[in-house]
Chains A and B, each alone.
Chain A
Amino acid sequence: MPEKQRGRYAALAIAAVVIVVGIPLWWKTTETYRAWLPFSEISELDSLQLQLSVDIEVVFSRGTLTPEQQKKFPLSHVNEKEHQVDAKTGLRYKYETRYRTATIMEEDALNQPTAAEADLSLHMLSESSCGSVVVYVIPESSTLLPEVRFRAFVYFYILKSLLKLIMLIPAVYFQDVKVYVGQRRTALLRSPPFKTSWNLKEVLSNLDVEVEQVVSTMSFGHQDIVAALSNRVRMTKVTKESMADSMRAIKSSPGYEITFSLLNPDPKSHSLHWDIEGAVQSYIQPLLNKLAPIANFSVDSQILYYAVLGVNPRFDNSVSAYTLSADSLSHVINPVEARLGSNAASSNPVLNFLLYVPDAHHSPLFIRDHSKREVPSNAFHSPRWGGIMVYNVNEMYGPEAERPVDININMAKVMGVFLAQLRLMLGVQHTHPPTGFVLQSPGSAGLADWELDRLLWSRSVENIATASTTITSLAQLLDQIGNIVINDNIAQQVSSAVTSLQSAVAELEAGNLAFALQYSREAILASERAFFDPSLLHLLYFPDDQKFAIYIPLFLPMCVPIVLSLLKIVSEAKKRRADKQAKSD
């Protein structure tokens, strides 16, 4: 029966075409495009072992060691400390110390009359690399280190409370300055008493305690690094102070916006003039230039008229002035913030600095702290938001002056406060140096080099921690949801993030802090861009049950005749074979 055979061949041919051509074609055309991602490298990044290397140079000047003891120089020594923060994160601190004697030029520099000048001339000689610390050991009898008594009095008054000061004066009065920390990366250390009979090893072990104190002040501390890892590691035990520190400093971000606002609630009485452009350029811009490796900054300013504080100040008869207590300060910010303009175009975090000039009826206005004492700066700040300063102008004019009174605001005083607040906001940690230490004031740049180094250490670690968690969670997400399209640009961002992360970790190990920070910034930028790409919304892609609902009405009617005809062929073939068997029997 040729027709029956033709029918059989037709069914087989259709089945063959469907299977050989149709199915691969359908598979290929409905495949989701998933560019290749380095999943294996990403899973390696999940467990992070960071090594931070610090280069320390200890230079002995003439008169500190005997020629016997100096024979073995130059000498180097490596000290390593390991900390396992949690199951997936480990830290290793490597301190490489080099000991040598001072060169003739350095001796000349150290012969300057004061420590500040010595620091400056030492800096002229050589530039120490980012992240390193240089300690100059000067003889015990040297007069280079300044008289402590007056200086420390002023310094500690600003920092400590009155009660503690009374206890400190006797201690400070009789103590000599041990260490002078300069504006850059050098410190001058007064040599502890050495016996001439000691050999070099004993001298060095005696000195190590002092050097370690200097290094822990000028370079990173363990608590800071652990706090920087908070994105990766769940903080279980945090001291109140470190919690306050971690809450105050703003999180690492590629850019920040700084806004200065002048609030004038009473334009009828006061006509305020502030030279904000000049002030920003003279005082703030040097700091921002120095912090350029960390982030981009944009500065703007505005003046708000008829803006009032949301809180009513109380009149205090004893000082015949209005006061704002510390408790009411927290309610000041939100109503004011509603009126502040900001740059709508960028999503960078904003740091606001407000200068409030009280109206004529509520002048002068003073801020009181929790112990009801006057605050010398007359300013307060809120972590991660900014600061507010109250500027009283009632003393600048008499009652007979013609209203509105022209007032020029003293920008140096204002910027002094704002700069201090800005430093706190950006995470320049409060160092509590041990007794006997004197820190040189940062000067025009607003930031000492070693303070910048501390910031760079914590920022690099924070960036690396954040970028690694972002990449690993993104990889997990893309793995779990099989039908998200991974475009080429996402794959490229992820690959570049992974390579930058690996380079950053390598540079940290090698001790090149500046490069490590740069790579960590690139890593975090690329990883954030990849994670927050708008195309990665899992909602846009079809879950499996919807896919079945679409395909079944298309394919089932087609497959049923084919399958049934194949079955019929098979059953006929079986019957024929059975017939043949029966015939042959």
Chain B
Amino acid sequence: IFWFNYRHVANTLSVYRSVKRLGIPDSHIVLMLADDMACNYRNPKPATVFSHKNMELNVYGDDVEVDYRGYEVTVENFLRVLTGRLPPSTPRSKRLLSDDRSNILIYLTGHGGNGFLKFQDSEEISNMELADAFEQMWQKRRYNELLFIIDTCQGASMYERFYSPNLMALASSQVGEDSLSVSHTFFTCLFQFKVCPQSQCVSTPGHRTDLFQRDPGSVLITDFFGSVRKVEITKDTINLTSPVEPPIKRSGSGDIQIESLTYVDQLPVAEIIHQKPKQKDWHPPDGFILGLWTLILLVFFQTYGIKHLKHIF
């Protein structure tokens, strides 16, 4: 957990807030935060995350729904959410339940480099993996249009490899540049991404729209950031004349015994402590390779003797 990544969490939460304000409900948002800034011991104001240093807007708030937190934010989980290959026990809130009419907005922020984005300081996602994941989403028609925004150093390299249709990408910096963005400066850049002068945004924003089918000029920001449902008036009704039948009585007349419901007995603590460790796949012990090599070398020298090495070399 690194404190200097505070701004990334603040950026992500600002985007989350904007998207919610424009109408998208939590059931349609998958929020992944790698660090818990709000409850970090270094946070001078616990349970809050601010997007600006004059602390005017607490972007953490009361109704934040974080779906993947801390160590759950991994490249594997991210790709699983995108492609839908989650284990059957995953709840709805952790899934991307989109269909062919959904417009998807993906906002990534963090540290990155040429062709990759860092996850959790020890993992990376490469631009090729991302492009392959989008292609699989396209094959299964999991999106109608997709807007990909990336706010990292050399972010433009992440979208170079995309090849699926209907993708639009925006990056806060080109290859070879560092991104030093603060969230609302970035948003200013975002909304005028064609006219951002070098003085205001330290880095040059980039974009890619060649895979997009519609004219990019006609795309509204709210197509991705907001959600307005299409609504039709119900004109037909069905005339139901038969009376409502009473619900089927369960068999057994007279008093119906209703058994009181209780919670299932939780697993007793004693059993948890003494649980056997899970069976892992068998790997040869670490010293094995080393021992094997020692054996080979010993046999070798036994056969030839040191003084006969000149026969070989």
Residues of A within 8 A of B (CB): 3-4, 7, 10-11, 158-159, 230-231, 244, 247-248, 251, 275, 277-279, 281-283, 326, 329-331, 333-334, 337-338, 342, 344-347, 349, 367, 369-370, 375-377, 379-385, 387, 389, 411-413, 415-417, 419-421, 423-424, 441-442, 444, 446, 469-470, 473, 477, 531-534, 536-540, 554, 557-558, 561, 564-565, 568
Partner of A383, one of B228, B232, B289: B232
Q: Are A384 and B101 in contact (CB under 8 A)?
A: yes
Q: How far is the CA of A236 from the CA of B100 in the complex (A)?
A: 15
Q: Are A275 and B139 in contact (CB under 8 A)?
A: no
Partner of A331, one of B141, B228, B235: B228
- Who on chain B is nearest to A387 by CB? B234
Q: Mark B285-298, 1 if CB is under 8 A from A, else 0.
A: 00001000100100
Q: Are A383 and B24 in contact (CB under 8 A)?
A: no
Q: Could you say which of A387, A420, A423, A441 has the most chain B C-beta atoms within 10 Å of its C-beta?
A: A420
Q: How far is the CA of A470 from the CA of B233 in the complex (A)?
A: 35
Q: Are A420 and B228 in contact (CB under 8 A)?
A: no
Q: Are A326 and B233 in contact (CB under 8 A)?
A: yes
Query: Which residues on B sit within 8 Å (CB–CB) of A346?
Result: 92
Q: Are B229 and A330 in contact (CB under 8 A)?
A: yes
**In the complex, how many angstroms separate the beta carbon of B300 from the nearest chain A beta carbon?**
7
- Who on chain A is nearest to B296 by CB? A558
Q: Are B308 and A7 in contact (CB under 8 A)?
A: yes
Q: Are B92 and A344 in contact (CB under 8 A)?
A: yes
Does B140 touch A at the CB level, under 8 Å? yes
Query: Which residues on A sit within 8 Å (CB–CB) of B247?
Result: 277-278, 281
Q: How far is the CA of A330 from the CA of B230 in the complex (A)?
A: 6
Q: How far is the CA of A535 from the CA of B50 in the complex (A)?
A: 40
Q: How far is the CA of A389 from the CA of B26 in the complex (A)?
A: 24
Q: Could you say which of B97, B304, B312 has the most chain A C-beta atoms within 10 Å of its C-beta?
A: B312
Nearest 4 Cβ contacts at the A-B interface? A473-B139, A379-B234, A277-B247, A278-B244
Q: Are A251 and B100 in contact (CB under 8 A)?
A: yes
Query: Which residues on A sit within 8 Å (CB–CB) of B95?
Result: 347
Q: Are A381 and B232 in contact (CB under 8 A)?
A: yes
Does B93 touch A at the CB level, under 8 Å? yes
Query: Which residues on A sit within 8 Å (CB–CB) of B234?
Result: 375, 377, 379-381, 387, 389, 417, 420-421, 424
For chain B residues 225-252, which have a beta carbon within 8 Å of chain A? 227-248
**In the complex, how many angstroms separate the beta carbon of B217 from the nearest chain A beta carbon?**
21
A342 and B87 in contact, given A470-B140, A531-B140 (Cβ under 8 angstroms): no
For chain B residues 78-111, which have a beta carbon within 8 Å of chain A? 79-80, 83-87, 91-93, 95, 97, 99-101
Query: Which residues on B sit within 8 Å (CB–CB) of A345?
Result: 91
Q: Are A333 and B244 in contact (CB under 8 A)?
A: no
- Secondary structure at the A interface, as helix, strand, loop or mixed, is helix
Q: How far is the CA of A329 from the CA of B233 in the complex (A)?
A: 9
Query: Which residues on B sit within 8 Å (CB–CB) of A376?
Result: 237
Q: How far is the CA of A424 from the CA of B83 in the complex (A)?
A: 30
Does B175 touch A at the CB level, under 8 Å? no
Does B43 touch A at the CB level, under 8 Å? no
Q: How far is the CA of A87 from the CA of B142 in the complex (A)?
A: 23
Does B61 touch A at the CB level, under 8 Å? no
Q: Could you say which of B132, B139, B140, B238 has the most chain A C-beta atoms within 10 Å of its C-beta?
A: B238
Partner of B97, one of A283, A347, A540, A565: A347
Q: How far is the CA of A282 from the CA of B227 in the complex (A)?
A: 36
For chain B residues 1-42, which have a beta carbon within 8 Å of chain A? 23-27
Query: Which residues on B sit within 8 Å (CB–CB) of A382?
Result: 229-232
Query: Which residues on A sit within 8 Å (CB–CB) of B92?
Result: 342, 344, 346-347
Q: How far is the CA of A231 from the CA of B140 in the complex (A)?
A: 8
Q: How far is the CA of A369 from the CA of B235 in the complex (A)?
A: 10
Ordered by A's residue number, 25 sampled pairs between the chains whose C-beta atoms are within 8 Å are A7-B312, A10-B303, A158-B235, A158-B236, A244-B232, A248-B232, A278-B246, A282-B243, A331-B23, A334-B24, A334-B25, A347-B97, A367-B233, A375-B233, A380-B231, A380-B232, A419-B238, A421-B234, A532-B84, A534-B86, A539-B129, A558-B296, A561-B312, A565-B312, A568-B311
Query: Which residues on A sit within 8 Å (CB–CB) of B229?
Result: 330, 333-334, 382, 385
For chain B residues 174-212, which have a beta carbon within 8 Å of chain A? none
Q: How far is the CA of A376 from the CA of B239 in the complex (A)?
A: 13
Q: How far is the CA of A384 from the CA of B99 in the complex (A)?
A: 10
Query: Which residues on A sit within 8 Å (CB–CB) of B141?
Result: 231
Q: How far is the CA of A533 from the CA of B87 in the complex (A)?
A: 8
Q: Are B237 and A377 in contact (CB under 8 A)?
A: yes
Query: Which residues on B sit within 8 Å (CB–CB) of A565?
Result: 311-312
Q: Are B240 and A159 in contact (CB under 8 A)?
A: no
**In the complex, how many angstroms separate the beta carbon of B7 from the nearest chain A beta carbon?**
28
Partner of A536, one of B85, B140, B248: B85
Q: How far is the CA of A537 from the CA of B24 in the complex (A)?
A: 29
Q: Are A444 and B85 in contact (CB under 8 A)?
A: no
- Who on chain A is nearest to B83 by CB? A537
Q: Are B230 and A469 in contact (CB under 8 A)?
A: no
Q: Are B244 and A383 in contact (CB under 8 A)?
A: no
Query: Which residues on A sit within 8 Å (CB–CB) of B243?
Result: 282, 412
- Who on chain B is nearest to A442 by CB? B238
**In the complex, how many angstroms separate the beta carbon of B282 from the nearest chain A beta carbon?**
13
Q: Are A329 and B231 in contact (CB under 8 A)?
A: yes
Query: Which residues on B sit within 8 Å (CB–CB) of A533?
Result: 85
Q: Are A534 and B237 in contact (CB under 8 A)?
A: no
Query: Which residues on A sit within 8 Å (CB–CB) of B99?
Result: 251, 384
Partner of B244, one of A338, A411, A537: A411
Q: How far is the CA of A125 from the CA of B129 in the complex (A)?
A: 63
Query: Which residues on B sit within 8 Å (CB–CB) of A383?
Result: 230, 232
Q: Are A4 and B311 in contact (CB under 8 A)?
A: yes
For chain B residues 210-228, which have a beta carbon within 8 Å of chain A? 227-228
**In the complex, how many angstroms separate the beta carbon of B277 from the nearest chain A beta carbon?**
22
A441 and B230 in contact, given A251-B99, A281-B247, A564-B313 (Cβ under 8 angstroms): no
Q: Are B237 and A417 in contact (CB under 8 A)?
A: yes
Q: Are A247 and B230 in contact (CB under 8 A)?
A: yes
Partner of B293, one of A347, A381, A557: A557
Q: How far is the CA of A377 from the CA of B313 in the complex (A)?
A: 96
Does B75 touch A at the CB level, under 8 Å? yes
A420 and B233 in contact, given A278-B246, A470-B140, A538-B132 (Cβ under 8 angstroms): no
Q: How far is the CA of A382 from the CA of B313 in the complex (A)?
A: 81
Q: Could you say which of B83, B237, B289 has the most chain A C-beta atoms within 10 Å of its C-beta?
A: B237
Q: Are A416 and B239 in contact (CB under 8 A)?
A: yes
Query: Which residues on B sit within 8 Å (CB–CB) of A444?
Result: 242
**In the complex, how many angstroms separate the beta carbon of A60 from the nearest chain B beta carbon?**
34
